[in-house]
Amino acid sequence: MSEASAPHAADRRDLTAAQRNAVAELLRVSPVADELGRRFAQAGHELHLVGGSVRDALLGRLGEDLDFCTDAHPDETLRIVKGWAEAIWETGREFGTIGAQRDGLRLEITTFRAEAYDQVSRNPVVEYGTSLVEDLKRRDFTINAMAVSLPEHRFTDPHGGLDDLAAKVIRTPASPQESFRDDPLRMLRAARFAAQLRFAVHPDVRAAMTAMAADLDRITAERIRDEFTKLLCGADAITGLRLLVDTGLAERFLPELTGLKLEIDEHAQHKDVYEHTLTVVGNAIGFEEEGCDFILRMAALMHDVGKPATKSVGPDSRVSFHHHEVVGARMTKARMKAMRYPKEVTAKVTALVSLHLRFYGYGRGEWTDSAVRRYVTDAGDLLPRLHKLTRSDCTTRNRRKAAQLAADYDALEERIARLAAEEDLARVRPDLDGNAIMELLGVPPGPVVGRAWKYLKDLRLERGPLDRDAAEAELLRWARDEGIVS
């Protein structure tokens, strides 16, 4: 591998390490990559490992998905890989991409592109390019605009991506204005890469993101959703979120986040909700056991979005946010629907937002066993996440108060465990099923059975398990009160 330009002295050590990483990673995949490169060369075409694959190789974390570019058009690419690839897919064909699998590696091979937006449509206009250098200039950032030609392993870096990788900075190959005008989603991608890689965004790029934030409105909700999800799951999600707010990008698709920047009252009687929220997100990340838990992170991000709408100042000048969890859950559901998140994901995040305040008050000794059962039942399979969210929400600087809240929640979890040992709280059901209800009351399937079932479930939550005789007696008493039986 040869470098495109001499690195700064301070970065030379990092570049040397990056090159060693790349050699090791490329040797790992070269049996497949080089073989594919030879097949393209024999057919009279170029093949280059490119983009994120080269970047990740330099960072020493190349995965099983490899990106290639070529001067061959999709039909020619299909002819070259047919009979060699173990599987082929054409879902990206309209964008010039053919997918293939070989020896456990997923390969995406894309024809050189000169892609641009028409600055009106939300969809890219795809035109095939004619050279590798043209293709690299079209890419989003310099760290993604490097290539390794196959099978000879020639390194191409016309825009100083290797230097930027060593300096941990995000820059665009063309001017930021030109790059973002072509594809406004790149502004969001800049924030996403800052979060994923812990890189700084170049001042010129940041300035263009701020000036052109409104152009993000040209992008579909689905594409924005996918980039935002990756950002929130980044290793440094807080930096990415701050970039969204500071550049005005959040205002275009997640205005609730910017709205958390409430004006602090003169007596400073409530926290900076925006900074508190970022702290809660960071705390929640610390509770993750393996990989990104998007549902937990999103709930942490949205848990207080109802506060601006519910803020009130009482006669004593105290600030309150009554029922902000109810309002926040409603806002969360609406926003995630607008961003086209799946219904099941939205439902889980919304439920956590609505439940996140339920714990407060437990330390006053007001909770009965019935209240604990309802807490567990209402949370359902979200209970482990609710534990983490509630603990994450404790950001007080008062050490005594923080210790007391932690002790209270420890006590609640111990109480839940004790009750769970006595009965399966996660699967609380009435002591009589539908068939028993119909037989005892002499009624057919219908609304009466549903009402009776709900009454018995509430009774179970209130009093715990009942034996058969007690459950039947309670059901008959309820039925008489309701006029169902005499």
Q: What is the pLDDT, as a whole number, of residue 13?
A: 56
Give the tens place of pLDDT for each residue, 142-154: 999 999 999 988 8
Best CA proximity match to 133, nearest among 117, 116, 112: 112
Residue 351 has pLDDT above 70, yes or no: yes
- Please check whether residue 154 is in contact with residue 54, taking contact to mean a CB–CB distance below 8 angstroms: no
Looking at 7-11, 12-16, 45-49, which range is the least confident one? 7-11
Please tell me which residue, 163 or 25, carries the higher pLDDT value.
163
- Residue 337's pLDDT is 97
**Mean pLDDT calculated for residue range 357-386:** 81
pLDDT at 271: 58
Instruction: For residue 311, list its beta bridge partners.
Output: 321
Q: Which two tokens stand for residue 196?
A: 């994923």
β 97-102/105-111 pair status: antiparallel
300/390 Cα distance (integer angstroms): 9
Answer whether 432's CB lies under 8 Å from 471's CB: yes
Dihedral, 372, 377, 379, 384 alpha carbons, nearest 10: 70
| In contact, 18 and 58? CB cutoff 8 Å | yes
Q: What pLDDT does 14 receive?
A: 61
pLDDT of residue 269: 46
**Residue 133 in 3-state DSSP?**
helix
Class of domain 1-167: alpha beta
> For the chain, how big is the Rg over CA atoms in Å?
29
Domain ranges in the chain with CATH number 3.30.460.10: 1-167
Q: Directed axis angle between helix 12-42 and helix 74-81, to 10°?
A: 80
Across all residues in the chain, what is the average pLDDT?
Answer: 86
For residues 305 and 331, what is the distance between their CA atoms, to the nearest angstrom? Answer: 7
Give the span between the Cα atoms of 97 and 353, in whole angstroms: 41
Note the pLDDT tens digit of each residue in 236-295.
999 999 999 999 999 999 999 999 986 554 434 445 889 999 999 999 999 998 899 999
- Read off the amino acid at residue 435: N
Give residue-wise pLDDT tens across range 189-237.
999 999 999 999 999 999 999 999 999 999 999 999 999 999 999 999 9
Whether 466 and 460 have beta carbons less than 8 Å apart is answered as yes
User: Quick one: pLDDT at residue 293?
Assistant: 97
The pLDDT score that the predictor gives to residue 317 is: 59
Looking at residue 157, its pLDDT comes to: 94
123: tokens are 């969809």
Rounded Cα gap, residues 472 and 97, in angstroms: 66
310-319 pLDDT, tens per residue?
A: 777 667 657 6
Q: Which of 174-188, 257-271, 430-444 has the lowest mean pLDDT?
A: 257-271
Mean pLDDT of the 59-64 span: 88
Q: Which of 386, 429, 391 is nearest to 409 (CA)?
A: 391
Mind listing the pLDDT tens digit for each residue in 295-312? 999 999 999 999 887 777
Bridge partners (DSSP) listed for residue 312: 320
Mention every residue, 6+ apart, whose C-beta is less than 8 A from residue 240: 191, 192, 194, 195, 196, 231, 232, 234
The pLDDT of residue 420: 74
Closest CA to 277 of 252, 306, 313: 306
pTM, whole model, 2 decimals? Answer: 0.80
CATH code: domain 254-427 is 1.10.3210
Averaged pLDDT, 107-124 = 72
The pair of three-digit structure tokens given for residue 246, joined into one six-digit string? 């500071």
Higher-confidence position of 335 and 391: 335
What does the pLDDT read at residue 119? 58
The pLDDT of residue 369 is 79
Q: Where in the chain is the domain with CATH 1.10.3210?
A: 254-427
Q: Is the peptide bond before 176 cis (omega within 30 degrees of 0)?
A: no
Compare 252 and 473 and report the one with higher pLDDT.
252
- CA gap 86, 175 in Å, rounded: 41
Among the residue ranges 317-331, 340-354, 385-399, the one predicted with the least confidence is 317-331
Position 450 pLDDT exceeds 80: yes
What's the angle, vertex CA 279, arms to CA 276 and CA 280, rounded to 5? Answer: 90
Interatomic CA distance for residues 280 and 118, integer angstroms: 41
Confidence bin at 96 (pLDDT 50/70/90): very high
C-alpha 363/C-alpha 375 separation (Å) is: 15
Q: Which pLDDT belongs to residue 120?
A: 58
